[in-house]
Amino acid sequence: MAKGDGKRVQKILDGVVGEVVGVLQLRAWQAITSATPVDTGFARGSVTPTVGTPVTRALERPKDRAAAEREASRSLADNQRRSQNIAATYILAQGRVFLTALASYFVFLNAGSSAQAAAMFVERAVQQAVLSLRNFRPRSA
């Protein structure tokens, strides 16, 4: 191997892995939000993608149903844009990627408290996202 080839190969590998991680986060976000039970949509809209640091604050659903639905719609659209942007621009040097469900009751939904989704729907959604990468071909490869 010629001098400098190792750095060139590492740059290619970092690009491919970064692209795969970004796309995996997007697909996991899509699968989780699709699988999340919906009453007002607040829990679905609370699934927040981030890079580097997870969001740690819990959100309480507004008491007013109309306010919860408005917040859910806005949050879902914001998080979709954020997740698509991360998938398009993510590089390994930015750190780990996270998907955080901010609705304070999300853990109960994932435990099976809703008739709309079986317990552990988050784990199944992530597994589905991983399996969806089988035929994925990175642009940077």
Tens-place pLDDT, residues 41-97: 999 999 999 999 999 999 999 999 999 999 999 999 999 999 999 999 999 999 999
Distance CA 105, CA 114 (A): 11
Q: What is the pLDDT of residues 22-50, one digit of tens each?
A: 999 999 999 999 999 999 999 999 999 99
Nearest in space to 92 (alpha carbons), one of 24, 3, 4, 5:
24
Give the SS3 label for residue 104.
coil
The pTM assigned to this predicted structure is 0.91
Nearest-angstrom CA–CA distance, 43 and 39: 9
